[in-house]
A and B are shown apart, each in its own frame.
Chain A
Amino acid sequence: MTGKLSGKTALVTGGSSGIGRGILELFVAEGASVISCSRSACADDLSELCQFSQLDVADSSAVDAFADSIERIDILVNNAGVQVEKTVTQSTDADWDLVMGTNAKGVFNLCRAFIPKMITGGSIINIGSISGNVADPSMALYNASKAFVHGLTRSIAVDHGPSIRCNAVCPGWIETGMLDAGFDIAKEPTNAKQDALQRHPVGRFGKPADIASMALWLASEDSAFASGQLFTIDGGMSAASPLNPGLF
């Protein structure tokens, strides 16, 4: 590793698993001092890598109290997110509170509490989604929450530049528990997975490390002129029209 983040302090929400864990590990390897949080308790091996707190990002007073305990950060990665696989008519108030609370209000809470902690400027990296641009079926609140993230990303870039840059990474299908949950509800999970693979020009699903690479670039000075943008990392999937593979 090249120490691209040495001397920097990074806060990565939802760092205990999936994409967040991938980002956390890469940032540590690049020399950053990392702070992380999750709703769940600290995973056994995580406490050696970072300073960890149990936190629900949807709870604004808890987020404010958490921020009070931290003097400064240089990099904020808003990764914590949840999904509920339902249409609008199936979704309950509790679903709304969970999905919008974590994915939308959580990003807002963290930005509001930590922008003042980015004393000499810095980089905010939000995890958006290709689903914030086009719709995944039966993911209504998730899709909408990610579109919120995309909009807030642009607002923060406009309002808090030049000292703070803010961008979003829009992952496609990344091998995490969230993707497995999608295949689990398919009638034939094996076929569904094979079909989905064929929709990826690069011939595979993404890995958390693929998203971490983009997050590192956005966190580093290599991206000094990038702000307010959405960067899609999806193995080429959304460049192709949504027709069945092998039709033509």
Chain B
Amino acid sequence: MTLENKTALVTGGRGGIGRAVVRRLLKEGATVYAADLTESGSLNAHDEDGSRFIKLDVTSESDAIDTAALIKKEQGKLDILVNAAGIEIEKTIEHTSLEEWNQSLAVNATGTFLTAKYTLQLLRDAAKDGTSSSIINFGSYDGFIADPGLAAYCASKGAVHALTRAMACDHGPEGIRVNAICPGYIDTPMLQSFFEGEGSGGQGGSIDSLQQAVRDVHPLKTYGTPEDVANLVYWLASDEARYASGQLWILDGGLSAQVQQMHI
């Protein structure tokens, strides 16, 4: 159990990827705060996993302040911050309302900013013993190359990528490592909603055949699981990753290593 005596905060901690991250960090012995809008989160259910729930709207400055205050009071420091809260609006810019645009940026980019801003002192405090503390943001392979009809999402993830590098430069000297994980297709409620959504162009075809077609385009012939992502979060959170900072870690089953495929 290599994360013993470490405290972690996972935003979106009741969502698809967040919940797997929470489970993994708990397994490694960390004290874990799972922050989300509701206790059941996007999976619409909650199993007791030993984490402590914090009701947090990442777009709310006062929520971020309260969250940091609670962790300060209970733990006095924060070793690991995982900014996993995220939303996806499946539209082109033409069909995206200003409200939807603002909400995408608010959750995916501003949420990362606010949570990190108000927990920064706790992360500094955790680094005082000589081991670094770790912030893990969630970018996306969509921050590099675009999927159709996901304009605000792609833009918000590009913002997270740049913010990750900026934070790594600014706070590395304080012992805080900052990285982003850029997942490709991961089997989560967000992905299923993408398959079923209006913009998906499921075009009358079955969801099963659509899912298989997406698997087939990956060199590894499958999309990922939340546990695959949690494995990388764990490594980046651990002291084994002590020299890793400022990087964007693409985890996509080889999807983005390819040129557009010629059908042969």
Contacts and interface: CB of A to CB of B under 8 A. Distances in A.
Specify whether A and B are partners: yes
Interface of A: 130-131, 134-138, 182-183, 185-188, 191-192, 195-196, 199, 237-244, 246-248
A244 B258 CA distance: 13
B4 to A, nearest CB: 40
A191 B263 contact: yes
B259 A248 contact: no
B263 A135 contact: no
Contacts, number: 81
A135 B259 contact: yes
B200 A248 contact: yes
Q: Which of B146, B203, B264 has the most CB of A within 10 A?
A: B264
Nearest to B264: A186
B101 to A, nearest CB: 20
A136 B264 CA distance: 12
B259 A238 contact: yes
A7 to B, nearest CB: 39
Contact of B201 (A134, A137, A187, A248): A248
Given A185-B264, A247-B210, A247-B214, A242 B147 contact: no
Contact of A244 (B141, B142, B213, B256): B213
B262 interface: yes
Interface in B220-264: 255-264
B217 interface: yes
Contacts of B145: 238-242
B147 A248 contact: yes
Contact of B217 (A130, A135, A191, A242): A242
Given A136-B259, A137-B258, A240-B147, 4 more contacts: A135-B259, A195-B263, A199-B260, A242-B259
30 contacts: A134-B259, A137-B258, A137-B262, A185-B264, A186-B262, A186-B264, A187-B264, A188-B263, A195-B262, A196-B262, A196-B263, A237-B259, A237-B260, A239-B146, A240-B145, A241-B255, A242-B145, A242-B256, A242-B259, A242-B260, A242-B261, A243-B217, A244-B217, A246-B201, A247-B201, A247-B213, A248-B148, A248-B149, A248-B194, A248-B201
B172 interface: no
A248 B258 CA distance: 19
Interface of B: 141-142, 145-149, 194, 199-201, 203, 210, 213-214, 217, 255-264
Contacts of B259: 130-131, 134-136, 237-238, 242
A196 B200 CA distance: 21
A192 B264 contact: yes
A234 to B, nearest CB: 9
Contacts of A196: 260, 262-263
B227 to A, nearest CB: 23
